[in-house]
Chains A and B, each alone.
Chain A
Amino acid sequence: MVPPAYYWKIIKYLDDNDLKATVSLTTNLWDFKVRPAKWIDLFNHSRVGVGTSFQYGDARRITKDRVFKEEDFLEIMEMFNDKIGYYPPFIAVIDESNEDTVIATVQLAKKLGVVCKINYANVSGRQGSPYPLSKVYKHYVDLIELGLYRWEYNTQQIMASSAENTCPLSRDCDVGIRALNPDGSYYSCGSFADDGVYSIDFDKEMDGELARPLSNRTYLYSLKHECLSCPMFDLCNGCRKHVFDIKNADTAEDHCERMKVLAPRIIEYRRIYGIFGKNDRNDSTP
């Protein structure tokens, strides 16, 4: 993680230029736990918002031999609340190794009174195959049926009718997201940046030429041609990286078959719940 001075420079630039932008940090907060004084002023700044991450399983480690466990996470959350004044929301990455922990993760978020984000593993870095999207949607449907959707962000997005505008359901993400790699290479998606594909010419864009590296590619448009006439289009094809991964793994047909089983329930839940996550079908209109 870069030192606080890096962010203070950004904040100064925003202040000097009277820009409305905020600084969102996603961090495991380990350095904050060890050296809180280093971070307190920054985390308390009005422009700064902090999110963290936690997932069950053995994949997250503090050292080679020590797993980052629930008790570590809770200790950090309490410390953050004590010193900064709120519990930060958190992201959990789900793959085959910890898929049975989705409900427990959201229950943990409920206990803390925060919204978590259950993300599926893309093919990036050490992750060799994508976690099947149809399985993720099964988890989201389970969360709706258990009444836990209020504590999970992606489920709320799915139910939000056609208001999808954040990752992994924003098909226009390449308009507003940029990822800068340490080597200077430049992308519109952190996961594609890990893959090193669909890069953007940094200099050209800084000269005013907005790049759309993902939106105008037929290969990334949909998993199959049949998707184009399907009511589930925006969910199955919400993330271009996932379209890329599923096509490359040649699992589109398998995905489609499983999603067709789930689709009637998802469509019905979207119909019932609507955008603000509550049952407002009884909103009478005299």
Chain B
Amino acid sequence: MESSEKMIETIAPLNPDLLKDHISKMSREVNRTAVYIIDPDESLIKGPALLNYIGNLRLCVVLKEDTKLGTKKELVKEYLSSRLPQAVNNITEEVGIILLTIKGAAIPDGFFTVEERKEFIKDNMEVLREWEKFLDSIPYMAPFVFGYYRETVGKTLLSSGGIKTVDNPLLVSPNALNLFYMDGFIENYLSRVARPLARMYKYLFYSPCFERKGMIEVLQEQTTLVPFMHSLEKPNANQPVAHDAV
């Protein structure tokens, strides 16, 4: 975490002064310089409503370390299928660890202990598999950042079914885009993908479902993948290049 972050211990709802202060500084993106350490067990707002509260206020949150196991499980499960994105750092980190665990990594205790994690994976395999498929498709989706590719090769692949379009916006929560903000996660994860899936998750990629952005913007801003692809391009002034509007 950056040293400039301000940590504020609280419960939900925030007291009126905190709330007013937070709203007065809000922007389109989650303000990650103020982190609210929320105790979900002591909060008056619980379960899915707590995640709604965090998402609707665009809070950047860490849940208190000694949160009860039942509460943790409920919130992580809800996070995996929420339509509204939430910046809950330790849930995002744990979901990242879970997905790396599914790919064979051995990672010590995090928000869940190793045993708790194992049990959570067993109980929630269906939704986790959808997240896994989404992440496994990144190598096929990433070139669509480039307008030239999108309008030529990409268009042909989509229309021929070479890349399968996934229209359903609800298969994977926009919370999956939080993983792109975890240092090195995407690079680490992709190094474990043996065979990428040829899929285009249209909703997550193009629609402004995450802090008014889609994956097309998040990929460029938060990963080394797009700069890497840029470096492979031969300089050619006549060739249309990336970053053009969708």
Contacts and interface: CB of A to CB of B under 8 A. Distances in A.
Contacts of B28: 172, 175
Contact of A161 (B23, B25, B130, B169): B169
Given A215-B26, A270-B83, A283 B167 contact: yes
A217 B24 CA distance: 6
A221 interface: yes
A228 interface: yes
A285 B212 contact: no
A146 interface: no
B200 to A, nearest CB: 12
Nearest to A278: B167
A280 B202 CA distance: 12
A252 interface: no
A274 B49 contact: no
Contacts of B130: 285
A58 to B, nearest CB: 40
A198 to B, nearest CB: 15
A128 B197 CA distance: 57
A285 B174 contact: no
B168 to A, nearest CB: 4
Contacts of A276: 167, 202
B170 A228 contact: no
Task: Determine the main DSSP class of B at the interface with A.
Answer: loop
A271 B202 CA distance: 16
A170 to B, nearest CB: 9
Interface stretch (A8-16, A181-189, A229-237): A229-237
A24 interface: no
B19 interface: yes
Interface in A144-183: 160-163, 165, 172, 175
A275 interface: yes
Contacts of A227: 56
B56 A233 contact: yes
Interface string B150-168: 0000000000000000111
A64 B179 CA distance: 61
B56 A161 contact: no
8 contacts: A161-B169, A161-B170, A162-B207, A227-B56, A229-B50, A274-B203, A275-B169, A275-B202
Given A161-B83, A234-B84, A285-B133, 12 more contacts: A160-B207, A161-B203, A162-B83, A162-B85, A165-B208, A228-B13, A229-B50, A230-B52, A275-B203, A278-B167, A281-B168, A283-B168
Interface of A: 20, 160-163, 165, 172, 175, 212, 215-218, 221-222, 225, 227-231, 233-234, 270-271, 274-276, 278, 280-281, 283, 285
7 tightest Cβ-Cβ pairs between the two chains A and B: A229-B49, A229-B53, A163-B207, A283-B168, A274-B169, A280-B167, A233-B56
